[in-house]
Amino acid sequence: DDGSLVAVEMKAYGGIEVGGEKVETLQEAFNIGGEVKLFADVVITEQVNIAKEVVLNLNGHNVVAEFEHNSGAINVAHGSKLTIKGMGCVDALKCICAISMTTKGDTNDAEVAELVVENGVIRGCNYAVSGNGSKGRGNTKVTVNGGELTMVATSGAGIYNPQEGDV
């Protein structure tokens, strides 16, 4: 293989792999589950959802949300777990938060919605990570072992956790 062939191939699939297999979109990778590894920056144009266990290895790259949303660019549903590792950034400056813990309609809080941040920068407009205090939106768990959680608005917080859940 010469370097140009690999570069063209990576551009064609967006630089995302799950278990060594190339996929087209971040949502497709999240639907498969397991370790999702980035080999290029990824732009998302709508909310992507986690419904199983996923390890997002930023691998020195960024996930950039280029859409406005009154919730998170990435949503972690009840019964799922997202672990973020590797250097890079989840950047959602047009969304209320980068990562939302459950979303409208996800009210089955019998199972936990879990987020673990090992590395990287998680940045949203008002919050890096946000929950929701509505009925059925509790039972969340957020663990930060490293990395940086930031927001760009003049008011907000790294983590907004109005629901029943552990931080």
What mean pLDDT is reported for the chain? Answer: 88
Residue 86 φ/ψ region, left for φ over 0, alpha for ψ in the -120 to 50 degree band, beta for the rest? left
Residues sharing a CB contact under 8 Å with residue 4, sequence separation 6 or more, in sequence order: none
Query: Exposed, middle or buried: residue 3 (CB in 10 Å: 0-12, 13-18, 19+)?
Result: exposed
Q: pLDDT (tens digit, 9 = 90+) per residue, 9-19?
A: 333 346 899 98
Per-residue confidence of the chain (167 residues) as pLDDT tens digits?
444 333 333 333 468 999 889 999 999 999 999 999 999 999 999 999 999 999 999 999 999 999 998 899 999 999 999 999 999 999 999 999 999 998 877 778 889 999 999 999 999 999 999 998 888 788 899 999 999 999 998 888 899 888 888 89
> Beta strand 48-50 with 69-76: parallel, antiparallel or unpaired?
parallel
